[in-house]
Chains A and B, each alone.
Chain A
Amino acid sequence: MNKSAQKLDVTPLVDESYCAAATQAIRCEATRLLTEGTVAAVIGYQAGRRKGTAMPTIVSSPEKAAELIFSSACVNNLALYLTKAKKEVRGKGRLAIVAKGCDMRALAGLIAESQVKRDELVIIGVACAGVYASGADRAAPLTNATIARKCRECVVHLPEGADLLAGSLPQQPMLTPLESQELARLEALTPAGRWAFWKEHFSRCVRCMACRQVCPFCYCEQCLCDRNRPQALESTPRPAGNMAWHIVRAMHLAGRCAGCAECERVCPMDIPLNLLNRKMAKELKELYGYEAGLQPQEKGPLAEYKDTDDQSFIK
């Protein structure tokens, strides 16, 4: 590690004005929408109690709109609030929602899966330079050392298809794509090596289901893994059931996952879940040229087919 790299580590990636501009734009739009009565509520972020933190909020009066903020601490994917977390806000009328690039991809997916109607939604996109890694000190500035892994190789800093764009993107340095590097490292291992890697990780899983609860796409009323006739997956946190659960989860998200990596962020056992998601996204892009949530797609890669699909693996 040379000195310049060390120095780079602590250089803030964003400055105050970037957050302030985005915050200002969100407040302005939220106030307008709420005053005009265009929407019943705005789903966004407000400051948390501790310095530098942020948390999701639902604002339904113009006065409260001034509490909305945007900063690098706005980690949550708010699309979740449309499907299950706060289902009660649906049905009150149109909603506005603040969406980073990855959140936007989730919204696009949810629209394609008939969970949300586009015309019942005002999407306030934010130019997002990246958010903190889970556990990073929010009081310190966002740096190479504290930025979330998914953001290091983000391709959707600017959300596509939002109704407006809040803020503008600061100049960004190239960051080392740690997740892709890790993916490449795993791919280069033998199957036994990868098995050992995942076994170690999955064995830690306590089946708290936080990964499921936080995923915007896990909106099923009854999850496959809660089913008991037949019991498709063992529900106790034993290594065998854990392995099965994580395989099934990755399979269910294949071609849908927006890459927001919320599952990984909330995992109390630090299982690198987004590696699985990233792997599937990469494969489906290679196989079918498909990337979830980047353009309006009606079906998704695993719900359609082409006569010319690869079948080199089939005898």
Chain B
Amino acid sequence: MHHSKKHAFEPKIVAFVCTWCTYAGADLAGTSRLQYPANVRVLKFPCTGRIDPVFILRAFQKGADGVLVSGCHPGDCHYMAGNLHARRRFAAFRTLIEFVGVDLDRLEFSWVSAAEGGKWVEVVTELTNRILTMGPLEEFKALEAEECWSGKLDTPELQEAYNNI
């Protein structure tokens, strides 16, 4: 299989979206034949309230270079408040992973309604282009490849114990 890749690096973008607003918005982009980069893979949830931060973390671990979480605008949630719970949860989570050293430019949150096909295209295109200039997310990949303790044997005792193994 020969790919006609446009770029040396094709970012892997994962989008976690709610079914009622953003998924429908992405459908609208389709029915309107709007064009956007093919890098995004969409995972559908009933509501952004269902999206566990663990999923975002796991997506990064499994090779995502960028993650998008998108749902209904406040007040539009099919389940009334799932997106508002999610808003707090993700506000907390993003500060946490930023503190751990993940560049927040790789994690995008948006409200895209079922009528905002254009906004979906905009958000996805912008994120893809941004990741393209940032390059691959090496940190998690490198971590995944590491097998054991990366710390140095920095005391004589440890060094000696190691030599005796």
Direct contact of A and B (CB under 8 A): yes
Contact A240 B108 (CB under 8 A): no
Asked whether any CB of chain B lies closer than 8 Å to the CB of A220, the reply is no
If A279-B99, A302-B89 touch, whether A315 touches B146 (CB-CB below 8 Å) is no
A288 to B151, CA, bound (A): 38
B28 CB to closest chain A CB, in angstroms?
A: 17
Contact of A311 among B74, B97, B104 (CB under 8 A): B74
A118 at the interface (CB under 8 A from B): no
- Say whether B148 contacts A251, CB under 8 Å: no
> For the complex, what is the distance from the CA of A200 to the CA of B100, rounded to whole Å?
11
Q: Is the CB of B109 within 8 A of A313?
A: yes
Nearest to B109 among chain A residues (CB) is: A314
A-B contact count (CB 8 A): 124
- Contact among B85, B109, B140, B147 for A315, CB-based, below 8 A: B109
A193 cross-chain contacts in B, Cβ below 8 A: 101
Per-residue contact bits, chain A 266-285, to B (CB 8 Å; 1 contact, 0 not): 00000000001001100110
Among the 9-residue stretches A41-49, A97-105, A142-150, A242-250, the one with 4 or more Cβ atoms under 8 Å from chain B is A242-250
Q: How far is the CB of A181 from chain B (nearest CB, A)?
A: 15
Whether a CB of chain A sits under 8 angstroms from the CB of B96 is: yes
Question: Which chain B residues in 39-57 approach chain A with CB under 8 Å?
Answer: 53-54, 57
A243 with B100: CB separation less than 8 A:
yes
Task: Tell me if B57 and A248 are in contact (CB < 8 A).
Answer: yes
User: Is A314 within 8 A of B143, CB to CB?
Assistant: no
**Could you tell me the distance between the alpha carbons of A195 and B147 in the complex, rounded to whole angstroms?**
18
Contact of A247 among B84, B90, B100, B146 (CB under 8 A): B100
With a CB–CB cut-off of 8 A, which chain A residues contact B57? 244, 247-248
For residues 273 through 315 of chain A, which have their beta carbon under 8 Å from a beta carbon of chain B? 276, 279-280, 283-284, 287-288, 301-305, 307, 309-311, 313-315
Min CB–CB distance B101 → chain A (angstroms): 3
Q: Digit string of B74-95 for contact with A (CB within 8 Å is 1, else 0)? A: 1000000100110111111111
- Is B162 among interface residues, defined by CB-CB distance under 8 A? no
Task: Look across to chain A and name the residue whose beta carbon is closest to the beta carbon of B75.
Answer: A307
Residue among B101, B102, B111 with the highest chain A CB neighbour number at 10 A: B101
Question: Which residues of B lie under 8 Å from residue A233 when comparing CB positions?
Answer: 54
Which residue in A186, A200, A238 is a CB contact (below 8 Å) of B147?
A238
Q: How far apart are the CA atoms of A315 and B104 in the complex, in Å?
A: 13
When the two chains form their complex, are residues B88 and A309 in contact, meaning their CB atoms are under 8 A apart? yes
Check: A8 CB closer than 8 A to any chain B CB.
no
Q: Is the interface of A mostly helix, strand, loop or mixed?
A: helix
Residue A178 interfacial (CB < 8 Å)? no
For B101, give its contact among A197, A244, A248 (CB under 8 Å): A197
Residue of B nearest to A234 (CB): B61
**B5 CB to nearest A CB, Å:** 27
> In the complex the two chains form, what is the Cα distance from A303 to B140 in whole Å?
30
In angstroms, how far is the closest chain A Cβ from the Cβ of B133? 16
In the complex, the answer to whether A314 meets B87 with C-beta atoms within 8 Å is yes
A239 to chain B, nearest CB (A): 4
Contacts of A187 in B (CB 8 A): 99
Instruction: Scan residues 185-221 of chain A and give those whose CB is less than 8 A from a CB of chain B.
Output: 186-187, 191-200, 203-204
Is the pair B110, A314 in contact by a Cβ cutoff of 8 Å? yes
Most chain B beta carbons < 10 A, residue from A233, A251, A287: A251
Which of chain A's residues have a CB closer than 8 A to the CB of B108? 315
- B100 neighbours in A (Cβ, 8 Å): 194-195, 198, 243, 246-247, 276
- Given A203, A305, A313, which contacts B151 in the complex, CB threshold below 8 Å? A203
Residues of B within 8 A of A313 (CB): 90-91, 94, 109
User: Which of these, B74, B84, B146, contacts A238 with CB under 8 Å?
Assistant: B146
Nearest B residue to A187 via CB reads B99
Please tell me if the beta carbons of A204 and B146 are within 8 angstroms of each other in the complex: no
Chain B residues within 8 Å of A311, by CB = 74, 87, 91
Tell me if A255 is interfacial: C-beta within 8 Å of chain B: yes
CB proximity to B under 8 Å, residues A148-202: 186-187, 191-200
Please list the 7 inter-chain residue pairs (A to B) with the smallest Cβ-Cβ separation, ordered nearest first: A195-B101, A194-B101, A315-B110, A305-B84, A203-B150, A314-B109, A239-B146
B residues sitting closer than 8 Å to A (CB atoms) are 53-54, 57-58, 61, 74, 81, 84-85, 87-104, 108-111, 123, 139-140, 143-144, 146-151
